[in-house]
Amino acid sequence: MLSKEEQTTARPVVLGGHAGSKIDSPDWPIWGDRERDLLTRVLESGWWAFEGPAEAEFERRFAELQTARRGLCVANGTVALQLALEALDIGVGDEVIVPGFTWQATAAAVVDVNAMPILVDADPETYCPDPGGIEAAVTPRTKAIIVVHLYDSLSDLDRILEIASRHHLHVVEDCAHSHGSQWNGRGVGSVGDIGTFSFQSSKTLTAGEGGFVTTNDEALYERLYSLRNCGRRRKEAITPTTHDLQSGNYRMTEWQSAILLAQLERFEEQMSTKERNAGILDSTLGRIPGIKPMRRDRQVTRRNLYGYVFRYAEEEWQGLSCRAFRKAMSDEMGLEFGAPYRPLNMSSLYRPQTKQRHHLSDQYWGGLDPGKYALPVAEHAYRHEAVRVLHQNLLTDSREISQIPKAVEKLRGFLPELLDWERSLPKGEDTPPE
């Protein structure tokens, strides 16, 4: 017979029990003496702006990590997307196909170059853009596709590149979640025309803010260089065929480059740890009724994770809502088991019709309304299915990561009581402000 203390520990936290499953995950970002030393070097050098030795070294090393011929540091991930579109000469009258299941910056960058974002739904097994939806969205005005490698999944680049080739479209890879990941042995960001990355504070490689663009095309590289640097041309690239460009200052500083070099020294080990722990979760969670990991395509030859995501089937948990499951798991583990991004057709931050500068014409203005799109897969995932764990919580050992499936199984043993508990929850969504 269990003691009173054992009985309490055996119950879920939300039912009055004590937590029996905890993960000792690190605070993020992780930093140490190496960051301090490199920042001191920048301070003492007096070279604080751009194109210093730290930036040059980081550009070379990060482009190499992504198997890209060329790479450039830029101000942030949003700017990286905007510059990619401008380098491809996309603007007024052009349509760009964009996933409806992504952070708002992916579509906002399209609006900021005066093109029209066309939202498409997600693949239900990866939450990346559905290739079939992409093909159906192509019109004579379509000029490019932006693919997003989302959380722990990669977009189906083989199918998307085939569609793009057949319709003569550019492909921009939004890799803000997938530093270091590979598709068929090639780093993401080196497969399409241009890749974009973010180094914002939550990302797996971070300097607080910052961004990056990659390409294998020399002409695009020269355009990207000029666009991020007030229209200036590289001295080495001044030829009769090089044109001056109108642009602004979208550069990154030497301070950020120094931080990124230090972060890069830990990155391979962190990526391996997360990939190993994600594999453990894939195999163990997949054996629990009503829980399914995201599909990992065989072409994904290396997987870094911005977040670990699995799918929860409410109907296989006697109707216990995903919202209630997320909260119960969060309380049980003492860490966030959250919702994914809100789909763009219901995002509080993607509101292009709130800026008068986007009112180029009544037709364009009306076309910007994200509410006109139906995104049933993304909406279902957000409201009823997707459960997300932050990437830093996978930086632990296999014994601790195994506490996650144990906690899921524990909850499953108390379903009738959890259903009663759910009735006491306040109505609403469990997501923090965007």
**Pairing assessment for the beta strands 386-390 and 337-338 based on DSSP bridges:** antiparallel
Strands 211-215 and 70-74: antiparallel
Which pLDDT score is estimated for 2? 38
Residues of the chain with CATH 3.90.1150.10: 4-29+267-341+380-422
What string of DSSP letters covers 110-155? HHHTT-EEEEE-B-TTT-SBPHHHHHHH--TTEEEEEEE--TT---
First CA to last CA distance, the chain:
47
CA distances from 235 to 43, 232, 242, 249, 433 (A): 27, 9, 11, 17, 45
The pLDDT score that the predictor gives to residue 6 is: 45
CATH of 33-260, picked from 3.60.15.10, 3.40.640.10, 3.20.20.120, 3.40.710.10, is 3.40.640.10
Is 74 in contact with 123 (CB distance < 8 Å)?
Answer: no
Going by DSSP bridges, is the β-strand pair 95-99/116-120 parallel, antiparallel, or unpaired?
parallel
Instruction: Indicate whether this model's pTM tops 0.85.
Output: yes
Question: What pLDDT, on the 0 to 100 scale, is given for residue 25?
Answer: 85
The CATH 3.40.640.10 domain(s) of the chain lie at: 33-260
CA of residue 139 relative to chain centroid, distance:
27
Count how many Cα atoms sit within 13 Å of the Cα of residue 330 in the half-sphere of its side chain.
16
Cα 353 from chain centroid (whole Å): 25
β-pairing verdict for 70-74 and 95-99: unpaired
4-29+267-341+380-422 CATH fold: Aspartate Aminotransferase, domain 1 (3.90.1150)
pLDDT in tens, the chain (434 residues): 334 444 456 899 999 998 777 788 889 999 999 999 999 999 999 999 999 999 999 999 999 999 999 999 999 999 999 999 999 999 999 999 999 999 999 999 999 999 999 999 999 999 999 999 999 999 999 999 999 999 999 999 999 999 999 999 999 999 999 999 999 999 999 999 999 999 999 999 999 999 999 999 999 999 999 999 999 888 776 555 456 789 999 999 999 999 999 999 999 999 999 999 999 999 999 999 999 999 999 999 999 999 999 999 999 999 999 999 999 999 999 999 999 999 999 999 999 999 999 999 999 999 999 999 999 999 999 999 999 999 999 999 989 999 999 999 999 999 999 999 999 988 876 666 67
